[in-house]
Structure 1
Amino acid sequence: MKMFKHSLVVCLCASALFVSCKKEEAAKESTPAVSKETLAQIKSLGFSDFNVQKIDGGYLVENDIFLGEQQLKTSPISTVLSIAKVEQYRTYNLVTGLPRTITIGVSGLNANFQSATQQMVNAYNALGLRLRFQYVGTSGADIVIYGSNLGGGVLGYSGFPSGGNPYPQVVMNTGGIFGTNVAFMRKVIQHEVGHCIGFRHTDWFNRGYSCGSGGAEPQNPEGAVQIPGTPSGADAGSWMLACTGANGSSFNGNDVTALRYLYQ
């Protein structure tokens, strides 16, 4: 990983300090150039082409979503589009084969991260979905949670489903940003697993809503399908907002509506 500028994100009000779960803006001199062709491919898939970062095996977009080289060559499988609003959004690709149990493993992380992972599993399973999770405590799982020192402004990243299967990994920051705050770890793992099963950021089109900066991203709706029953107004408590703080609940009512619409 390259070195990134460290900053705290002010979200919603000047008195509250938040940290984005995304990469901070990269120092231009340390970021490999991304070709116009690649940026066009990323945009065509419905992702922002702002601040795209080249990393091993692919690209980091929207600051916590990994797109592999092969994914750039794929085409959307749905024609259902939606103009951007502040609502829950899914990708075209979801986890299929319901009812189904997804195993969750942890590799090389301490007991706090392991406890956070179990809490995350319990939170999803409490919703009574047909997509269930099972913590197996090892690296041999459908989704494996790894650790890496990602720098001071990074919480973690993951990716989206492919071929009916969840994205297979979540990378969490082990550089001390979480301290011993297990609830904060759980919240971020829960968010990243949301990506793994097909959820976009609630405010993907305007990171300024939750991050306090970033402005509107290109309103290209491909790959961001509105989930019926979710609100058309601001949804400050969503677990899939682009930026988050250390405190907060597990899922709000609209999150539960979105999860149940897709997986119950």
Structure 2
Amino acid sequence: MKTKQTIKGLLMIAAISIYSLGCKKNGESITQPEVNKKDAVFTYIKSLGFPESSIKDLGKEYLVEEDITFSKDMEIPTATGPKTEQYYTGNLVSSTNRTNIRIYVDASMASLSAEVNSAVNQWNNVPGANIHFNLVTSGSYDILIRDENLGYGYCGVARFPVNGNAGGLIRINKAYIAGNSFDQRQRTIAHEIGHCVGFRHTNWASSGEPQNGTDDIGTPASAIDVPNVGGTDPLSIMNGGQCGSGAAYFSDKDKQAIASLYPVITSGPSGTLSTMVGIDIGVDDGVYFWGLSGLVTKGNSTSINGPTQQYFLPSGKNFSDVIDMAISNAGRGYVWYKDGTMSVGQGIGNFGDYILPKSYVLPAGKTPLDIVGIAILKSNDHCFAFYSDGTFSEGNSTNLGAYAGLQSYAVPPGKTYNDIVDIGIAASSGWFYAWYADNKMSVGTSTDLNYWIPLKSMN
């Protein structure tokens, strides 16, 4: 992503064209016929997070923070979406790669080695974040930083993550930023590192950037709200168009966003069986326990102990709204809600970054509250929904009865259908695992949940 040297015009930055997600230095104001919008513009500036005391009236324009101007004739953008101002592409560095992202600094960047170190140190010292960069001088690397003449107005370009790997290249227009302060030079590098691990410009919408674009090699880059980090953030290091004049160090919201997307993984249970909103078996046969606490633990069939991290639902959904969760053969996380909608995540941590909530249907006579468990058979991604009257159906994520009508199933002796907390299907064997509210589990088939392994206690 390209960043720019000065700010002028609409919303602190120039209009941007990002067919390859880039932006230029020189700004241009967008004007419209005079309608005496002074008060509206003043209100709009305050809505961006600037205190009233920092806004100076210069006659035909307002001045903020000594170098950001807003024409009193500017066109005020119409809000068309959430006001959350932290965004990412939808792709992140995988959990196996994020703790050792290797950066190789080309010899052409030797004169900026101190700035590179400063930028990397920022990223390595975010509280509550599980992401770490290492500078390497030889061998394999994940990100190359090199100098390149990008032309007038361009300060840096970076690639976005793909397939669990960090974006592989950062190009810095070293000669162009040479006159900037040390803080601003390292800010440019830290900003571009942010793109390599999935962050979009926090101000992409107000800047005129498309929601869906690509980097210079075609890596797709959507603009998805970072979960649980709302509010505008004029001090974000990921604001576009502020090279040479923007905030040089992470804002509080930057830190929250980084920790949200790359959370520290702890060890311990996400709750007890009675406080789970979803349980399913992943493609590696690890068992995931999603708790009402907003934490998910990767354990095994008899133990809710293991790596634990946060998980997130789409905006407007609460953990108590969930009917069940399941994992597909592609490793995507599916969630069904009590209001008859479902959503899909790229993985098991964010259930709205692939498909936002949409409606699902059930077999005739069934309601979401009748469901005691949903599981996905990895061999064909069919969804099996089990109901509290002792029947189950086979379908897909939006039509739970699409492939087979209602059939009967049996539970272990002494159990009732309402004792079931959830059901999952092992990827390797196709066996059906069932967990019960009294801290017990059994393994069987779709028609007999006690067939393979009779009822036994959890550890």
| TM bucket, shorter chain | 0.5 to 0.7
Are 1:238 and 2:231 matched, yes or no? no
Contact 1:144/1:170 (8 A) holds in 2:
yes
Q: Deviations over 1:71-113 (max 9, x none)?
A: xxxxxxxxxxx93534101111100124621111111334432
Distance in 2 (CA, whole Å) between partners of 1:114 and 1:87 is: 31
Distance in 2 (CA, whole Å) between partners of 1:138 and 1:111 is: 15
Cα RMSD of the aligned pairs, angstroms, is 3.1
Distance in 2 (CA, whole Å) between partners of 1:102 and 1:181 is: 27
**1:180 Cα deviation (Å)?**
6.6
2:222 alignment partner in structure 1: 223
Distance in 2 (CA, whole Å) between partners of 1:19 and 1:205 is: 11
Q: Helix, strand or coil for the counterpart of 1:186?
A: helix
Distance in 1 (CA, whole Å) between partners of 2:108 and 2:124 is: 23
Distance in 2 (CA, whole Å) between partners of 1:115 and 1:137 is: 15
Query: Which of 59, 63, 85 is residue 23 of structure 2 equivalent to?
Result: 63
Contact 1:151/1:175 (8 A) holds in 2:
no
Cα 1:137/1:114, change in 2 over 3 Å: farther
Report the count of equivalent residues: 195
**1:241 Cα deviation (Å)?**
0.6
Q: Helix, strand or coil for the counterpart of 1:205?
A: helix
Contact 1:113/1:182 (8 A) holds in 2:
no
Contact 2:89/2:223 (8 A) holds in 1:
yes
Distance in 2 (CA, whole Å) between partners of 1:242 and 1:231 is: 18
Q: Helix, strand or coil for the counterpart of 1:135?
A: strand
Are 1:103 and 2:123 matched, yes or no? no
Identical-pair percentage? 30
* Alignment-mate amino acid for residue 7 of structure 2: V
**1:242 Cα deviation (Å)?**
1.1
User: Which residues in structure 2 correspond to 1:71-82 (within 5 Å)?
Assistant: none
Contact 1:167/1:196 (8 A) holds in 2:
yes
Are 1:119 and 2:115 matched, yes or no? no
- Unmatched segments (≥5 aa) in structure 1: 1-5, 26-49, 53-59, 65-81, 208-215
1:251 alignment partner in structure 2: 250
**1:238 Cα deviation (Å)?**
0.5
* Alignment-mate amino acid for residue 226 of structure 1: D
Are 1:204 and 2:204 matched, yes or no? yes
Contact 1:147/1:173 (8 A) holds in 2:
yes
Flag the structure with higher helix content.
Answer: 1
Q: Deviations over 1:49-85 (max 9, x none)?
A: x463xxxxxxx23438xxxxxxxxxxxxxxxxx9353
Contact 2:184/2:248 (8 A) holds in 1:
no
- Unmatched segments (≥5 aa) in structure 2: 25-79, 214-220, 264-459
Q: Helix, strand or coil for the counterpart of 1:109?
A: helix
Which TM-score applies when normalising by structure 1? 0.64
Query: Which of 77, 87, 90 is residue 89 of structure 1 equivalent to?
Result: 87
1:35 alignment partner in structure 2: none
Q: Helix, strand or coil for the counterpart of 1:167?
A: coil
User: Which residues in structure 2 correspond to 1:97-176 (within 5 Å)?
Assistant: 97-98=95-96, 100-128=99-127, 129-137=129-137, 140-176=140-176
Cα 1:139/1:19, change in 2 over 3 Å: farther
Q: Deviations over 1:239-261 (max 9, x none)?
A: 11111142534100000000001
Q: Helix, strand or coil for the counterpart of 2:145?
A: strand
Cα 1:220/1:159, change in 2 over 3 Å: closer
* Alignment-mate amino acid for residue 121 of structure 2: N
* Alignment-mate amino acid for residue 203 of structure 2: D
Cα 1:95/1:220, change in 2 over 3 Å: closer
Contact 1:150/1:174 (8 A) holds in 2:
no
Contact 1:94/1:197 (8 A) holds in 2:
yes
Distance in 1 (CA, whole Å) between partners of 2:176 and 2:240 is: 21
Distance in 2 (CA, whole Å) between partners of 1:7 and 1:254 is: 23
**1:12 Cα deviation (Å)?**
7.8
Which TM-score applies when normalising by structure 2? 0.38
Distance in 2 (CA, whole Å) between partners of 1:159 and 1:172 is: 12
Distance in 2 (CA, whole Å) between partners of 1:224 and 1:252 is: 20
Q: Deviations over 1:125-180 (max 9, x none)?
A: 11152210111245842111011111221101112111100001100002343237
Distance in 2 (CA, whole Å) between partners of 1:139 and 1:19 is: 39
Cα 1:218/1:105, change in 2 over 3 Å: closer
**1:183 Cα deviation (Å)?**
1.9
Distance in 1 (CA, whole Å) between partners of 2:180 and 2:249 is: 18
Contact 1:96/1:164 (8 A) holds in 2:
yes
